Amino acid sequence: MPTESPLLRRAVFLLLVLAITAGLVALAIAVLAPGGWTVWEVMILACYLGTVPWSALSAANALVGLVILLGARDPPAAVLPALRAARPGPPRGRTAIAICVRNEDMSAVLPPLGRLIDGLPAACFDLWVLSDTPAGEAAIAEEAAFLAFARTRPNAHYRRRTANEGFKAGNVMDFLDNHADGLAYFLCLDADSEMTPAAVLRLVACMEADDRLAILQQLIHGRPATAAFPRVFQFGMRHGMRAWATGQAWWQGDEGPYWGHNALIRIAPFRELCRLGPLPDGSRILSHDQVEATRLHAAGWKVRVLPDDTGSAEGNPPTFGDFVTRDLRWAGGNMQYLALLRLPGQTLMARWQLVQAILLFLGAPLWCAILLLAGLNALTGAGASTPTGLLVLLLAATWACHYAAKLAGYAELLLNPALAARHGGRGAVARSAAAEIAFTTLMEPARLMAQSLFLLALPFGMRVGWTAQNRADRGVSWGDAARQFWAPTLAGVVFGAIFAAASPLALLLAAPVLLSLVLAIPFAVVTADPGFSAWLRARGICALPEEMPVPA
């Protein structure tokens, strides 16, 4: 890209966002204006304007990221100066590998940690398991499993709190206050995180190359999964995040995001600046990671992203239901940022980071409102003058902007033979991309409806709760799926009746969204079915490079 100036980069990016915004808004007006404006059409435009910032941001990030991925000799180094300055050799400072657990299956947690700590120099790294598991049989079993694990690893340590004050953020800060003497950095991991020794050593080398770097967040891909839902989901997520994170890192520079795990953190500034108290209403900050990043931004410390997922993985929820439960928990945490935007002492970029996290979920009720208003507009006959061709173009353009990062990731794969070969070749990539796009088309409207219903109930005290997550592959019964997704299904039936009563054309145009809502229950069941997963695996659909055979 043309400049090294952070301000000029941001100005270029802003112009790109504004150009995309202007195009989408102009197209929306061209669709809605013919025949005069109805009340429904004015309301549709107002809701659409609320969704445009996220669509334009998504498209602009993807476009910038794709240019860098296709044009740079070393894309991660092009957006991370510390990577270019890093030098090989043993680390100078000592690092703690810190993993937070609460009611986790230690037989799944400990083996990846063993592979990691055994591959790192013991003189430079300690392993700390930071437990918030309540006292009882689970805690006893957890500690026994760790003691067996640590028998041959003297640099492995275990600490369990009696109360999980402050949740994960409190767990980490308690460790830093009481057990971090002599440590320069800590690598924050979640219970489902997995990293390789080479990836960790690279992070430490980058950190030591820049003494103002406080957090270095590595990109993360999904661990290989046997269940169908995470297999397909993480294929799209992996390639979309590569383009998104590269583009975002180019213009955000030293004021990047922190995602809470698979990140290396400099202890001294984090301990001093990232101690989070309760919100004004007395509740604890749930989505703590981005708030911690903004504290460091404000004090002049750098928070950077390494947009390369090599050696950095996490587990994805094994079913659609588990995914939505986690999604709603994140939505509740991100909505807390509304109370933090007014706090003094934040940089403009820090405030934008919080706004971006809010927009990630705030668009859901607007999209659902647009669907309802469009149905009512068609039902009253007021939308008869809407030009069908322009409407289809608007829907296609909006869809392309919203999913631009994934589309950019697939374009990179198809245009780069070496990358495509890691996924079985261009034919396998094309089949996998088509499967993932169909999967997302069926998943996303139901997910947005679930988010909308949750956000509407949030002011009235609805909470998901921060409980232990299901990480095991399992099937989903029809009864369990119906209990979780009856509301989106009912909404789909009602909306379908409205569009059907309006006209066959209206029903046809709304069909992709309506099918997602009506089929939410069977989608949850089928994507958790072992038979469907085996069918995907047998055809190499959505395979990760880690699953491919190593060339002889």
pLDDT tens digits along 44-67 = 999 999 999 999 999 999 999 999
Look at residue 469 in the predicted model and tell me its pLDDT.
Answer: 52
User: pLDDT tens digits, residue range 261-307?
Assistant: 999 999 999 999 999 888 777 778 888 898 999 999 999 999 999 99
Mean pLDDT along residues 377-393: 88
Mean pLDDT along residues 121-125: 95
- Edge-to-edge order in the sheet of strand 221-222: 194-195, 312-314, 221-222
pLDDT band at residue 467 under the 50/70/90 scheme = very low
Residues 177, 178, 184, 188: is their CA dihedral positive or negative? negative
Mean pLDDT along residues 414-443: 92
Name the percent of the chain lying above pLDDT 90.
75
Q: How many H-runs (helices) and E-runs (strands) does the chain carry?
A: 21, 10
CA–CA distance, 499 with 511 (Å, rounded to integer)? 9
Contact 201, 292 (CB under 8 A): no
Locate 181 and state its tokens.
């003497």
Contact 364, 370 (CB under 8 A): no
User: How many CB atoms neighbour CB 499 within 10 A?
Assistant: 23
Look at residue 241 in the predicted model and tell me its pLDDT.
Answer: 96
User: How far from the centroid of its chain's Cα atoms is residue 24's Cα?
Assistant: 25
C-alpha count within 13 angstroms, C-beta hemisphere, residue 355: 12
User: How far from the centroid of its chain's Cα atoms is residue 209's Cα?
Assistant: 28
C-alpha count within 13 angstroms, C-beta hemisphere, residue 152: 4
Look at residue 466 in the predicted model and tell me its pLDDT.
Answer: 44
Using alpha carbons, list the distances in angstroms from residue 84 to 142, 202, 223. Answer: 41, 11, 28
User: How far from the centroid of its chain's Cα atoms is residue 472's Cα?
Assistant: 20
- For residue 113, pLDDT beyond 90: yes
What's at 4, amino acid-wise?
E
Look at residue 371 in the predicted model and tell me its pLDDT.
Answer: 95
- Please, which residues bridge with residue 99 across strands? 129, 189
Range among 220-224, 510-514, 537-541 with highest mean pLDDT value = 510-514
Look at residue 540 in the predicted model and tell me its pLDDT.
Answer: 86
Q: What is the mean pLDDT of the chain?
A: 91
Residue whose pair of structure tokens reads 């390369």 in the numeric block: 308
C-alpha count within 13 angstroms, C-beta hemisphere, residue 484: 24
Look at residue 3 in the predicted model and tell me its pLDDT.
Answer: 53
CA–CA distance, 66 with 72 (Å, rounded to integer)? 10
Crossing angle of the two packed helices 404-415 and 426-457, in degrees rounded to 10: 170
DSSP reduced 3-state for 77: helix
User: pLDDT tens digits, residue range 30-47?
Assistant: 999 998 899 999 999 999
- For residue 362, pLDDT beyond 70: yes
Largest CA distance in the chain: 78
Cα-only R_g, the chain: 24
User: pLDDT tens digits, residue range 310-339?
Assistant: 999 999 899 999 999 999 988 888 888 888
> 3-state DSSP helix/strand/coil percent for the chain, to nearest 5?
65, 10, 30
